[in-house]
Structure 1
Amino acid sequence: MPQASAALATPRSRPKPADEFAPLLREIKGQELLARRTGWYAAAITVNLVIFAALVAGVLLVGDSWWTVALAAPLALFSTRTAFFGHDAGHSQIASSRRINRLLGLFLGNLLLGMSSAWWNDKHNRHHANPNHLDKDPDVGEGVLVWTQAQAARRAGFNRWLTRNQAWLFFPLLLLEGIALKVSSIQMVASSRGWERQGRARAVEGLLLAAHFVAYVSLLAMAMGPGKAVVFALVHHALFGLHLGSVFAPNHKGMEMPDPDSGQRWGHLRRQVLTSRNVRGGPVTDWLMGGLNYQIEHHLFPSMPRPHLRLAQPAVRRYCQEAGVSYAETGLVDSYRQALRHMHEVGAPLRQD
Structure 2
Amino acid sequence: MKKAVVRFNRTQETDFVTELRTRVNKHFTDNKISKFANTDMQLKTAFMLGLYLVPFAILVSGLVQSFWSMMILWSVMGLGMCGIGLSIMHDANHGAYSNKKSVNNVLGYLLNVIGSYHVTWKIQHNVLHHSSTNVHEYDEDLNNQILRFSPNQKRRNINKYQAFYAPFLYGLLSLYKTFSKDFEQISRFNKKKLLSAQGVTLNGAILQITLNKLLYLGATFLLPMLVLDLPWWQILIGFLTMHFICGIILALIFQSAHVLDSTQFYQADESGSIDNCWAIHQLNTTANFAKKGKLFSWLIGGLNYQVEHHLFPNICHVHYQHISHIVSRTAKEFNVHYHEFPTFLDAIKSHFRMLHILGKKATA
CA distance in 1, matches of 2:23, 2:34: 11
CA positional deviation for 1:243: 1.2
1:71-82 residue pairs with structure 2 within 5 A?
71-82=73-84
Aligned CA-pair RMSD: 2.5
Q: 1:246 aligns with which of 240, 252, 262?
A: 252
CA positional deviation for 1:235: 1.0
CA distance in 2, matches of 1:22, 1:192: 33
CA distance in 1, matches of 2:234, 2:171: 19
CA distance in 2, matches of 1:198, 1:176: 28
Q: 2:276 aligns with which of 266, 273, 277?
A: 266
CA positional deviation for 1:20: 2.7
Q: Is 1:97 matched up with 2:100?
A: yes
CA positional deviation for 1:286: 0.3
| Conserved? CA contact 1:34–1:303, under 8 Å | no
1:117-196 residue pairs with structure 2 within 5 A?
117-125=118-126, 126-153=128-155, 155=156, 160-161=157-158, 163-182=159-178, 183-188=180-185, 193=190, 194-196=194-196
User: Which one is further off, 67-76 or 292-301?
Assistant: 67-76
Tell me which residue corresponds to 1:285. Answer: 296
SS of residue paired to 1:37: coil
Tell me which residue corresponds to 1:66. Answer: 68
Q: Is 1:340 matched up with 2:343?
A: no
Q: Residue deviations 1:241-286, cap 9 Å, x none?
A: 1111111121001211123249752213211111111002322220
SS of residue paired to 1:152: coil
Per the alignment, do residues 234 and 264 of structure 1 end up closer, same or farther by CA in structure 2, a change over 3 Å counting?
closer
SS of residue paired to 1:335: helix
Tell me which residue corresponds to 1:209. Answer: 213
Tell me which residue corresponds to 1:47. Answer: 47
Name the amino acid aligned to 2:333.
E
CA positional deviation for 1:51: 3.2
SS of residue paired to 1:278: strand
| Conserved? CA contact 1:21–1:268, under 8 Å | no
Q: Residue deviations 1:57-95, cap 9 Å, x none?
A: 232321353321222221111110011111111111111
CA positional deviation for 1:186: 4.1
Tell me which residue corresponds to 1:114. Answer: 115
CA distance in 1, matches of 2:221, 2:149: 37
Tell me which residue corresponds to 1:300. Answer: 311
CA positional deviation for 1:342: 1.1
CA distance in 2, matches of 1:343, 1:306: 28
Per the alignment, do residues 230 and 119 of structure 1 end up closer, same or farther by CA in structure 2, a change over 3 Å counting?
same
| Conserved? CA contact 1:20–1:267, under 8 Å | no
SS of residue paired to 1:31: helix
Instruction: Number of aligned residue pairs: give it.
Output: 328
User: Which one is further off, 54-63 or 324-333?
Assistant: 54-63
Name the amino acid aligned to 1:76.
G
Gaps of 5+ in 2: 1-10
Name the amino acid aligned to 1:52.
Y
Tell me which residue corresponds to 2:36. Answer: 36
| Conserved? CA contact 2:288–2:304, under 8 Å | yes
| Conserved? CA contact 1:34–1:305, under 8 Å | no
| Conserved? CA contact 1:38–1:95, under 8 Å | no
Per the alignment, do residues 62 and 167 of structure 1 end up closer, same or farther by CA in structure 2, a change over 3 Å counting?
same
CA distance in 2, matches of 1:49, 1:36: 19
Percent identical: 22
Per the alignment, do residues 288 and 339 of structure 1 end up closer, same or farther by CA in structure 2, a change over 3 Å counting?
same
Name the amino acid aligned to 2:200.
Q
| Conserved? CA contact 1:292–1:298, under 8 Å | yes
SS of residue paired to 2:338: coil
Tell me which residue corresponds to 1:316. Answer: 327
Per the alignment, do residues 189 and 271 of structure 1 end up closer, same or farther by CA in structure 2, a change over 3 Å counting?
closer
TM-score by length of 1: 0.85
Per the alignment, do residues 201 and 17 of structure 1 end up closer, same or farther by CA in structure 2, a change over 3 Å counting?
same
Gaps of 5+ in 1: 1-14
| Conserved? CA contact 1:88–1:94, under 8 Å | yes
CA positional deviation for 1:220: 2.1
Per the alignment, do residues 188 and 318 of structure 1 end up closer, same or farther by CA in structure 2, a change over 3 Å counting?
same
CA positional deviation for 1:141: 2.9
| Conserved? CA contact 1:276–1:328, under 8 Å | yes
Name the amino acid aligned to 2:36.
R
Tell me which residue corresponds to 1:56. Answer: 56
CA positional deviation for 1:301: 0.2
User: Which one is further off, 180-189 or 317-326?
Assistant: 180-189
Q: Residue deviations 1:101-153, cap 9 Å, x none?
A: 122211x1102x11101111100021001110113111123422112345233
| Conserved? CA contact 2:51–2:79, under 8 Å | no
